Structure 1
Amino acid sequence: MALAAAGDTWGIDGTTFLLGYGVLAVGVFIASVRARRALADPGQKHVVPDLTGRHNDVAYLNGGADLAVCSALARMRVQGLVAAHKGTITATGRPGPDSDELERAIAFATASPTPRARLTWLRPVRTALDGIDRRLVAEGLLLSPEQRHRIRLVGLWMTAVAGFGLLRLLAGIADARPVGFLVVALLIVAVVAAVQLLQAPRRTRTGDRVLATMREQLDRYAPHNRPDWALYGAQAAALGVGLFGAQALWASDPAMADALALQRLSGSGSSGSGDSSWSGGDSGCGSSSGCGG
């Protein structure tokens, strides 16, 4: 072990401090990831619901409000209830008794031509979407705003580590000691802290498992299989979009996707965070962050 030289900041040489600081940062990071995951899995006793018949709920769970609207429009288009041209939607029929609140709201909102991009902001549609959100939170599949706030607060742990490093950095500068490596370490810790403070998963871990199971069971609706919606029907079209994003429409009915003015992105992978407009997988139609660090 190297002995501290006279004049070492805080009586600890730079190499020893960097090693200890790195161990501290890694330890706190691992603890924070575990804490965030635990908070994303509240452990409440919920009966896991069967979402097979709730296509718009599946879409909301996967990609939020935009994907839920996309799912509803896909089903309504196959049923001949809406017409679309260059992203403008017009109702052409009345929803049947098997339609849910979101589809009825969309039919009402598009009695006159309405841009698809505006649908999620119209009061009837927004009310229906809020109802889906509350239902999924109550069933333990989505996290409430309060739960997500608690998850973000875990980022204060790494913020404290960054603050400690900043104190050492300022002290080192005052002592005219080299601080280049500490600056790099401090930047990494600060970025991790910022990400944890700003981001939180939207789904619970149970919600992630429900989606993964449904994708496995309904793989025949995946874009790579190019399912025939005329054969499978309107419900399958909505589930395909809900589970695999708008890429399901581009793969199976590009004319419909083009009429709805959906952005075409390559791939249909799944992402746990961020917002990606009208893509495939978890990032479809505005993403719902999955659980995890």
Structure 2
Amino acid sequence: MTLILSVGLAGPQASGPALAAAPSSGDTWGVSGPTFAGVYLLLLATVTAVFWIARQSLLGPGGPPPSGSTALPADDLAYLSGGLRRAVDVAVISLSERGLLAREGRIGGAMRVVGAPPPGTVSAFEWAVGDAVARTGRARSGLLAAQLAGHPTVEAMRERLLALGALATRERARTARRVAWLYVALLALGIARLVAGASRHRPVGFLTLEMLASVVLAAVAAASVRYPAPSQRGQLLLSQARAASAGLRSGGLPGQRALAVALFGPPALWAADQELARHLGFSSPSSGSGGDSGGGCGGGGCGGGCGG
């Protein structure tokens, strides 16, 4: 009887550790797939929240501009919405519509200056763009922006927007970009887990989807902190200008197309003047859109290895 009792008591104690270890014996890093996928998703949400909160605080100030400030010209709006290349495109369109630039050929951006504008009819930046076109014989924004990057008129435009609080400083934009590097650290963790899980022949489908989402969010974050980057006030000014000129989304009438492109980008010119848009090298607006695709661990079908 004593022997039977001792065996009965010792049996469960001896088998307990083995039974407890069994569920995790095949898990990568000792963490089950669903658990890691859940942790990764939580980290992704945390990084995204931290980045956007930091971005909002770094890209200040907010609120309307100081009283007495005038409406921004097309050059400044273009610089806020798309940087120097957008501003160059808008200046070229403005000069072209005034008959001061003429196209040569059908494609390639070749243009020539035809006459001088009357005093006071063009901005200093437009004048600089016209001079650059006269030197190069071409009106492609990449080429012209490279030539004008350090031009005094560009610096004056940037300083004007900084003084208005419509543009984030270079230092603030750089700090926001550093925060965006959190996505890279998260992706590195995901890649390490993906490789380890795949080498153990564990299913990693859901983790792959989470990493793709990380890549998309990282790309959006990086694009949102480009320099020059509009501040919260700059974004408000752009929103107000777009609302006030909503009819220009389709390009507007001749004479309005420079402002239309400043606010709504190349699609506005494609809608109004396809020949000029093609000549300037604007990409044709995409007419297709991808649909969402489902997948992953729905319905409990992933077992124990969605995250490797």
- CA separation in 1, counterparts of 2:179 and 2:135? 47
Q: 2:263 aligns to what?
A: 243
Q: Secondary structure at the match of 2:53?
A: helix
The match for 2:246 is: 219
Change over 3 Å in CA distance of 1:101–1:112 after alignment to 2: same
Q: Indicate conservation of the 8 Å contact 2:100/2:113, yes or no.
A: yes
What is the alpha-carbon distance in structure 1 between the residues aligned to residue 160 and residue 273 of structure 2? 31
Whole-angstrom distance in 1 between the partners of 2:147 and 2:82? 19
Map of 2:127 onto structure 1: 104
1:70 and 2:89 matched: yes
Q: Deviations over 1:56-96 (max 9, x none)?
A: 11122222222212222222223222222232222222232
The answer on whether the counterparts of 1:55 and 1:71 sit within 8 Å (CA) in structure 2 is: yes
1:19 to 24, 31, 38: 38
Residues 84 and 129 (structure 1), Cα distance of their counterparts in 2 relative to 1, 3 Å cut: farther
The answer on 1:79 being equivalent to 2:101 is no
Q: Are 2:75 and 1:91 equivalent residues in the alignment?
A: no
Query: Quick check: 2:92–2:130 contact (8 Å CA) kept in 1?
Result: no
Corresponding residue for residue 184 of structure 1: 208
Q: CA deviation at 1:115?
A: 0.8
Structure 1 residues 134-185: Cα deviation after superposition (integer angstroms, max 9, x where no partner)? 32233222223322211121134344545666777788799x6947368537
1:278 corresponding residue in structure 2: none
Structure 1 unpaired stretches of 5+: 269-293
1:27-49 per-position Cα deviation (integer Å, ceiling 9, x unaligned): 33323332223323345995284
User: In the aligned structure 1, how far is the partner of 2:261 from the partner of 2:241?
Assistant: 13
2:230 is the counterpart of 1:203: yes
Aligned residue pairs, count: 257
Asked whether the 8 Å contact 1:76–1:82 carries over to 2, the reply is yes
Q: Larger RCO: Structure 1 or Structure 2 (Cα < 8 Å, ≥ 6 residues apart)?
A: 2
> CA–CA distance in 1 between the matches of 2:184 and 2:135?
51
1:180/1:204 CA distance change after superposition, 3 Å: same
Q: CA deviation at 1:203?
A: 2.1
CA distance, structure 2, for counterparts of residue 250 and residue 177 of structure 1: 50
- The one-letter code matched in structure 1 to 2:137 is T
Residue number in structure 1 paired with 2:153: 128
User: Does the residue aligned with 1:228 lie in a helix, a strand or coil?
Assistant: coil
- With normalisation by structure 1, the TM-score equals 0.68
SS at match of 2:60: coil
Q: TM-score under structure 2 normalisation?
A: 0.65
Q: Describe the SS at the equivalent of 1:220.
A: helix
Q: In structure 1, how many angstroms separate the alpha carbons of the residues matched to 2:38 and 2:122?
A: 61
Out of 69-78 and 125-134, give the one that drifted further.
125-134
CA distance in 1, matches of 2:189, 2:64: 40
The amino acid of 2:204's aligned partner reads G
Query: Aligned AA for 1:251?
Result: A
SS in 1 for 2:284: coil
Deviations 1:187-220 (A, max 9, x none): 3576368547844432223222211211111123
Cα gap change, 1:203/1:13 in structure 2, threshold over 3 Å: closer, same or farther? same
Report the Cα distance in structure 2 between the residues aligned to 1:56 and 1:31, rounded to whole angstroms. Answer: 33
2:115 equivalent to 1:115: no
Shift in Å at residue 266 of structure 1? 2.8
Look up the equivalent residue of 1:82 and give its one-letter code. L
